[in-house]
Amino acid sequence: SQKIEQNSEALNIQEGKTATLTCNYTNYSPAYLQWYRQDPGRGPVFLLLIRENEKEKRKERLKVTFDTTLKQSLFHITASQPADSATYLCALFINAGKSTFGDGTTLTVKP
């Protein structure tokens, strides 16, 4: 069956360090992958999109990689800040309509 796994439910890091979140998938050949941020009690907010033919995408302190051979995406936040503390979701898109989201990784950045 199709499955998305995001690394460990919680990730704790020190302010200023780089946070690396993992999204692994099986039995997919996704055309696109997106990362979202979700704060408690709120809807997810889009961060980055990467296509299957792109290896890497950057936006300010954020970087996403997409390895279709390993079936893995890595999401990096450099120079992390306490304000980056949130749950981060990865989402895969096989076709134009269906979306599949991972469970999310909760990141806590300590001052």
- Window of 20-28, 60-68, 69-77, 92-100 that interacts with another protein by CB under 8 A: 92-100
CA–CA gap between residue 34 and residue 76 (Å, rounded): 13
43 binds another protein (CB under 8 A): yes
Smallest distance, another protein to C-beta of residue 92, A: 10
102-to-15, 31, 83, 84, 96 alpha-carbon distances in Å? 25, 16, 22, 19, 18
CA–CA gap between residue 102 and residue 5 (Å, rounded): 6
- Window of 20-28, 55-63, 72-80, 101-109 that interacts with another protein by CB under 8 A: 101-109
The residues of the shown chain that bind another protein, judged by CB under 8 A, are 4, 31-32, 34, 36, 41-46, 49, 89, 91, 93, 95-104
